[in-house]
Amino acid sequence: MSALPTPYATLQHGGPTLRFYLGDSLFFETLKAFIDEFAFDDASSYDMRDFMTSYTGIDLSGFFDNFVLNSGTPHYSVDSFAVGMNNNDLYDVTVFAKQKRKGPAFTGNGNIMEVMFMDENWNRFTDTIHFNGHTGHSVKMVPFIPSIVLVDPEEKMCDATTDNYRTIKATGNYLFEKTFFTLEVDNISDSAFVRVTHNWAPPDSLAATVAGLRLSDYRYWRIDGIFPENFQATGKFTYNVNGYLDNTLITSSSDTLIILYRKGAMEDWQEIQFEKVGPWNVGNIVVNDFKAGEYTLAVKEAGVGGSELLLPKKNAIKIYPNPSADCFIITVIINSTGELGIYNESGVMVKSFSLMPGTNQINWRPEGLAAGNYMMALLGENHLTPEVIKAVYLHY
């Protein structure tokens, strides 16, 4: 029979997060009370959970389930955000959050995620989002229109990310420690704010499977920033089979390593131009046309594709925000008349929209539909164009 988790393990693996959940004064007060209660006696993490919940009046079952009693580490991210004006000269910012996991599958509840809003003038505002399950959203009143929203900016939580941010004022090379990323700034006219997040969780999958193309099952990057005009830089992303970073992705010297990019969750992954510096098993992927967004390594398996692109160069459909429980804004670019079909997981069309040549913007409220996964596809001349299939996620 395996031993019960101990309070020592709780503090070792989730202590900083528990301190964040409770705040400094209540955290230390509760620890002292717990030690007094169980002095010279045995105690498990279950005892600690129940005592602290009773003492503080705060239900800590979600924290203990997520950080202590289940294997792996939770991962939190912001999928997207939308801004609206309210009646108090403030801005209602709806933030859409997502939870993944490094390690065995588990989806926790009682999640508390600190986010920092920053505008183009570097004004900052910090608040917390509370949600259950895989996805959630929250409306926060912010005194400005944010340009970026950052998760856990000061690393208060033991989540599955490694983060670094820097203020950059001159050209040169900037190493973002422990993120496996280096930024080489080629041109800068004013100070730039750059935040690099190395995510120890799988990236979102492609909207439609591409035969012979595998995305990393272990990690990806998110890079946010406030960049001055004419900011130019080169991004260097490290790959390493020997260091157990990419050994499940790069399995053979005959595999072709590439890098994919997307601005955010409202877009699908796109293959971009890069240079590979180093042998097949360790080196750098160099992206000269660097920009903010998400990056993930991928592999074209031996004999697939050669040097040609397996993914389309441009998205025909963009969805924002995604996921959503209220309204989706859908932008479709099409060269002729057509139709946008929305399908449930059984392949049944639940909604369609007529399209005209050019840019079409659709506001879709999925009234009467159950929460779950839906797919969008562009239809024209009685055929389906699979490369523009997009996933939509509803939640209530």
From first to last of its 396 residues, the chain has per-residue pLDDT tens of 345 567 766 766 677 899 899 999 999 999 999 999 999 888 999 999 999 999 999 999 999 999 999 999 999 999 888 888 777 788 999 999 999 999 999 999 999 999 999 999 999 999 999 999 999 989 999 999 999 999 999 988 989 999 999 999 999 999 999 999 999 999 999 999 999 999 999 999 987 788 889 999 999 999 999 999 999 999 999 999 987 899 999 999 988 999 999 988 878 898 999 999 999 999 999 999 899 999 999 998 866 655 555 555 455 677 877 777 678 888 887 777 888 888 887 778 888 888 888 778 888 888 888 887 788 887 765 444 444 455 566 654
7: which 2 tokens? 């309070």
Q: How far apart are CA 134 and CA 90, in angstroms?
A: 29
pLDDT of residue 118: 96
pLDDT of residue 303: 62
Q: Name the maximum alpha-carbon separation found in the chain.
A: 78
pTM above 0.85, yes or no: no
User: What is the architecture, at CATH level 2, of domain 317-394?
Assistant: Sandwich (2.60)
- Which residues fall within 8 angstroms of residue 279, CB to CB, at 6 or more apart? none
Instruction: Tell me the CATH class for 72-159.
Output: mainly beta
Specify the domain boundaries for CATH 2.60.40.1930 within the chain. Answer: 317-394
Specify the domain boundaries for CATH 2.60.220 within the chain. Answer: 161-313
The answer to whether the beta carbons of residues 345 and 394 sit under 8 Å apart is no
Pairing mode, if any, of strands 328-334 and 317-320? antiparallel
161-313 is classed CATH 1.10.287: no
Q: State the sign of the Cα–Cα–Cα–Cα dihedral 354, 360, 366, 369.
A: positive
55: which 2 tokens? 């003492």
pLDDT of residue 186: 95
Residue 15 three-state SS: helix
CA 249 to chain centroid, in Å, comes to 20
The helix (H) or strand (E) run that includes residue 102 is strand 91-102
Q: Residue 46, CB half-sphere, CA atoms under 13 Å: how many?
A: 3
Sheet containing strand 91-102, edge to edge, reads 73-85, 91-102, 135-142
Please, which contacts does 89-92 make with residues 24 or more away whose CB atoms are closer than 8 Å? 90/141, 90/142, 90/143, 91/141, 91/142, 91/143, 91/144, 91/145, 91/146, 92/139, 92/140, 92/141
Q: Which amino acid is residue 17, in one-letter code? A: T
Residue 94 three-state SS: strand
The answer to whether the beta carbons of residues 69 and 104 sit under 8 Å apart is no
pLDDT of residue 115: 96
Give the Cβ contact number of residue 372 at 10 Å.
11
pLDDT of residue 30: 95
2 DSSP 8-state letter:
P
